[in-house]
Every structure is written in C-alpha cells, then in structure tokens.
Structure 1
C-alpha cells in the first residue's frame, strides 16, 4: 500500500513538472513564431520599399548623383555587359574592361551607337595578375569616374576542393578577389576627392548559402560580400555608396544547360531584365539580390534547412546534358 501511494505521489510530481515544462516551451515557441513573423513582415516591407518605391518616385539622375563616367569590368557578356548598357541608357559614359579586344570593340560601338554616349575600352586579362593594373591606372588617371561595377569573375564548375587544379585556384584569386580589390584601390581616391561615387561588387548567392562542391568559388564571393559591407561602412561618410549585388540564377551563356532555366524560366531573368532592376537599387540598398523575384527566393530560402537547400540546388542546377 505504501508503495502504491509513493507511486501516485511520484506520478503527480512528474505530471506537475511536465505541465510546467510544457507551459515554458509554449511561451518560448510563441515568442519564436512571433519573432519570425515580425522579421518576415519587416523583410516584406523592405522588399516593397526596395523594388516598388523606386518605380513610383522620380530619382535624381545617376550622372548628377555620382558622375558622368562608369567603369565596368567583365563587360563583354552576361550581367557586366547588360549593366553597362543600362548605365548608358541612363546617360552615363562607359569604359569597358575585359580580356577580349574584339568583343570589347563590338560592345563599345554598339553602346555608343544605341545610347549616344561616349564609350571606350581597356583590354585587360585579370588572370595575368599585377602586371595588368598599371595600364588601367594610367588610362583612368584623368577620368572622373562616378560608378565602378566589378562584374568580372572566374566561374568554377562544381568540383571538390581536392580536385581543383592550382592554376584554377590562382585564376579564382586573381579574377574574383584581386581584380575587384585593386580596381577599388584605383578609383576610390578620385571619388573621395569629389565626395561622391558608387561601387557595385557583383557577388553570388553562394556567398550566403553553401554551394555543393564549389568551396573555392563560394569563398571568393564571401570575401567580395564582406569587402563590400566593410567598404560601405568606411566610405559612406565620404559620400561614396558601396553595394554588394547578389544575383541568383540569370540566363547567361554559363547557365543555358541548367535545368532551372528551362523548368522555371520566370526565376531566371535575361541579363538585360536583371540589370534594369538592379540599377534601380543603386543608392537604395547596400546589399541586395537586385531583382524582385530573386529577393522573394532569397527570403524563402531563410526558412529552408541547409540540407534541403543543397538538395534543391543540386536538383534544379544540374545539367540537362
């Protein structure tokens, strides 16, 4: 009998303790859901302000806000070329930098003829390292550069870190890391002197979430993202705006064989469409995807566990070949 009473007493204590723990966990869960809800609401409001407000409010022209000349690296194709064309459409003169002289001439002449702005180009292969920068510095010495767009990149196709050749590692470092860093070092003194200017560093979504078998490439984009944020903090008091532009999938030559381009084309804008939206965020957001659909994707990805994100990435971004 005493044993039964002891058991009942123990049962009541355990039940009371469990009930107390459930109440505590309920409060914690409610607080977490409320916090997540408020954060999502804030992100939605920010998304609206970033992508809708610029369409409703007439802004100061980019030439008055930053200057008459823009420099774009990686300007012969993809996002770089489209961004240069969009800046020209806004009335800026552009200087194109790339490694292929023939392509640079074609793009330069096309922009000048279409948008009636001044254009020039500098042939520079960033893979060659330090030797390419003195000619660039000399060519830009007397130009009042208002906007610098660092779009040049070396794209590493999925490989394990142990399989990446040493030459490819140096190309990733020279193009994805060193080029943007040195170009900023070249143009910033003039911007500081004029107390205005803008720098756009084109990163990649892999700088925010893990990318399967692309450790080296992703790490280089993490550097560029962090570099942009630190520069913004340092240069904003001097009147210079710095943006980390983080596109998701864009329909370039490098993505034509990727499943998502064909399965979900509304998620993959043409470079021209992407650039038109991205330029609208210039001076508005220091860190953005640049495109409203990508911003929604990016927001949704915050709720997805890393393992699921990697699985979806492998499924959608695998080749059709």
Structure 2
C-alpha cells in the first residue's frame, strides 16, 4: 500500500511540474521570440493577397488595417460607419499603396452575411481578423442594470466570429493555408462580475478558436485567439496609456510577432505577465478561488451606478483589466 501511495504522489508531483513547465514555456516564447519560430515579414503576405478586418473603423481594427497593409496585403475593411471606412481607405491607398475595399455592415444584426459573402467573392483571402465587438457597459454594472441589448451583444461578439469564420475558412482549407486572428479579451480568462455578458461572450471566442485550431492545424491554417487586457480605444474611452494599457497601434504591431507561437496569446508581453500572475495565484490556492474572491470584493465595493458622473481618471482603475 505504501508503495502505491508513493507512486501516486510521484505521479501527481510530475503532473504539477508539467503544468507549470507548459505555462513557463508559453511565457518564454513571448520573451525570447528569436529562439522560437519567428515569422519573417513575408510570412503574412504569403497567406494570400487580401486581409479582411471586421470592426475596422476604429481602435484595434483600424490599427490592424494599417499594419497589414504595411506588410504588403490588400485589405477589406468592414464596419457600420461608411464615412470612417472611406477615410481610412483613402489614407491607406495614398500613404501605403495597398488596394482597399470597404463593406458597410452592422454586426449587431444577423442578416448581413449573404451581402458580405457576395462582396468577398473571388478574393484570395489569406488573413481574417475577427475584431468587431461591443462592451455594453464600460463602467461596472449588475446584470439587471445593463442596457437591454443582449441580443446585439451576442450577434456582435459571438455570431460575427462564427459566421465570418464560416465564410472564409472553407477557401483557406482548399488553399491549405490561412491565418485567422480572433480578438477576445483578458476578461475571458475568468468570470468577471459586473461585466458578466461581455466576459462570457469573450470566453466563447476563446473556446471556439482553440477547438477550431485543433481541427484545422494539420491543414496548414493558423487560428489564434488573442486575450488582451486594457487597450486604449474608443470602446474603452481612450484609457490613459501606461506599462499595461497599450495604444491600439502598439498592441497590434507587437501581436503580429506572436502569430506562430500557439493557439492563444495575450498579444503583448505586458499582458502575458499579467496573465501569468493571475494563473499563478489561482494555481497556488485551493477553493475558494482567490482571483474570484478579489473580483467579488470589487463587486461589493462598487455600486451599480456609483461610478457614473465621475471624471475618467477617477474610475480608470475599475476598468483597466477589461480588454
């Protein structure tokens, strides 16, 4: 009996070591990129002639549009505001020289995909960036006090990823190459009270992306989910930038260095460090989960509407981890 217990504890110890080793290997890839499979500048262009970016009118989507154009791709910009799209298209064409197509579509609706499919017909699409998303409440609120647009959130944050992937993946499969980047959030890694629907929708994006990568990796297709924390964009009311909060341009440029290192990344080193810290805290404690305990404490201290009307600088610390 003693020998059996000894073997059991040895096995458990090895398993724990393996789990921590996997975490550190993932983290080390983000620090020592030159030791791993780093993508040459021609890699992105080799995926195909065109990149499709949803939510391209602002923030991260706009930054991807410019950066992928700089990498030599033509870009398709999809968003609901034609004036913004046209301005971005004109700037890319004049300053970079890439060809640009624009598609006006509102991703809070579910009747747009046949129209998008027709507009994308006959394009050799090598990269899809599923970026479009909505945060129903920037400041923390209880579920019953959030705006009554849950269906719009589901269409924008979940349906858009599934349907756009469905439209484009089949052509990537036939060409046996392609890159799909699905923008999730650091809020997907744990349940986030006061952002319940948002964090749940982003958790779907993570699970969906990693499952698809397992299905299609052997067919030459890279499907990666990105889980950033705070990025200064219109959706986050242009949070002040610092070591943690990145500009959209900084985040996008750094994230493209990581497209070949695995099926999930935070997109930048600072956010990888945050994730490692959270996971280490979570892994060293038994129930109750210390991370969830911290979040629940925040809930008890923040009334649903207590932050409304405060200057932005006074409430940024409440939302800095919501990507």
1:290 is aligned to 267
Q: Is 1:52 the counterpart of 2:44 in the alignment?
A: no
Unaligned stretches of 5+ residues in structure 1: 1-23
Structure label with greater radius of gyration: 1
Higher relative contact order (CA 8 A, sep 6+): 2
CA-atom RMSD in angstroms: 3.0
Q: Distance in 1 between matches of 2:298 and 2:24?
A: 23
Q: Is 1:279 the counterpart of 2:279 in the alignment?
A: no
Q: Distance in 2 between matches of 1:250 and 1:120?
A: 26
Conserved 8 A contact 1:228-1:243: yes
Q: Which has the higher helix share?
A: 1
Give the drift of 1:55: 8.8
Q: Distance in 2 between matches of 1:64 and 1:106?
A: 24
Give the drift of 1:269: 1.2
Superposition map of 1:1-321 within 5 A: 39-40=19-20, 42-54=22-34, 59=40, 61-130=42-111, 132-157=112-137, 158-166=140-148, 168-256=149-237, 261=240, 265-304=242-281, 305-306=290-291, 307-308=293-294, 311=297, 317-318=317-318
Q: Distance in 2 between matches of 1:198 and 1:111?
A: 22
Question: Does the residue aligned with 1:48 lie in a helix, a strand or coil?
Answer: helix
User: What is the number of equivalent residue pairs in this alignment?
Assistant: 290
TM-score by length of 1: 0.81
Conserved 8 A contact 1:204-1:247: yes
Unaligned stretches of 5+ residues in structure 2: 282-289, 303-314
Conserved 8 A contact 1:67-1:145: yes
TM-score by length of 2: 0.80
Q: Distance in 2 between matches of 1:74 and 1:237?
A: 29
Q: Distance in 2 between matches of 1:220 and 1:279?
A: 24
Give the drift of 1:155: 0.7
